[in-house]
Amino acid sequence: MTTHQPTDHRRVGMLTPSSNTVLEPYSAAMFAPFGEAGSVHFSRFRVVEISLSGASQSQFEIAPILEAAGLLAEARPHCIAWNGTSASWLGLDRDRALCRAITEATGIPATSTMLAFDNYFRLSKVRRIGLVTPYLSEIQDRIIENYNAAGIEVVADQRLEDRGNFSFGSYAPDQVADMVRRVARAEPDAIAITCTNFRGAEVAAALEAEVGIPVIDSIAITAAQTMRLVGLDPNRVTGWGSVFPAYAGFDPAALHAR
């Protein structure tokens, strides 16, 4: 018997670092509750190290990302997301420019992980955050500088001094959870787990219950924003943290406001 996708099936496209092993299975699990109503699809471009070296920074030049987006566009997604956090240290304008370029090239609305964080912090009135990453200090310090410039104070942070990117996925969820617990002592408005190859999403809900603070994982927030943008209800996603019901309450028009 031949079956077909319903005509109202909503597809989300995600651009993925080539050495990432975490975001695809996590994202697929987050979209699973939608069954025939929605799905997530991926395209990769080369990212193998996170540092401030010239070689590392050249990985995020626009041409290879647009090539990957063009291939992804052939699956006719209803939006495309850069599922990565490079704009946290390169500056949010990099993602704004990238998303404009993707839309101009493909005709498909585009967003990113860091634009999703920006929306969440703005709409939830978050001004003090805890920051958890696996990154080198040279990257982490740049992220903190960018947040300070945007009016968001990083009141506590944890880092693993790893240049990754493949290795980021090797840290156990319990290790990420311990990092979250340490920054929670500063009582921030929210805790940001900033890396899309890090195993924070699966422990976010339990940590929120434990520390009483929203724990916002990069993979989860990207999924929640793209769901909201394509008309899927994030409330259907459970067990991955409070970011999903939070996004269900956001006006989709506000997600395009900046």
Same domain membership, residue 213 and residue 183: yes
The pLDDT value given to residue 8: 82
Same domain membership, residue 203 and residue 187: yes
Compute the average pLDDT of residues 91-109.
96
Do the domain assignments include residue 240?
Answer: no
- The helix (H) or strand (E) run that includes residue 12 is strand 10-17
- The domain spanning residue 193 has which CATH number? 3.40.50.1860
Same domain membership, residue 227 and residue 191: no
Same domain membership, residue 174 and residue 136: yes
Which tens digits make up the pLDDT trace of 109-150?
999 999 999 999 999 999 999 999 999 999 999 999 999 999
pTM for the complete prediction?
0.95
Q: Tell me which residue range forms the domain holding 77.
A: 10-112+219-235
State the Cα–Cα distance between residues 27 and 240, nearest whole angstrom.
10
Do the domain assignments include residue 245?
Answer: no
Same domain membership, residue 92 and residue 174: no
Same domain membership, residue 226 and residue 211: no
Tell me the three state secondary structure of residue 187. Answer: coil
Same domain membership, residue 206 and residue 169: yes
Same domain membership, residue 150 and residue 190: yes
Same domain membership, residue 62 and residue 15: yes
Which residue intervals of the chain are DSSP H helices? 23-31, 54-58, 62-73, 87-90, 92-106, 113-123, 137-149, 173-184, 201-211, 218-230, 243-248
State the Cα–Cα distance between residues 227 and 204, nearest whole angstrom.
19
Q: Would strands 153-158 and 190-193 be described as parallel, antiparallel, or unpaired?
A: unpaired
Same domain membership, residue 105 and residue 181: no
Same domain membership, residue 227 and residue 104: yes
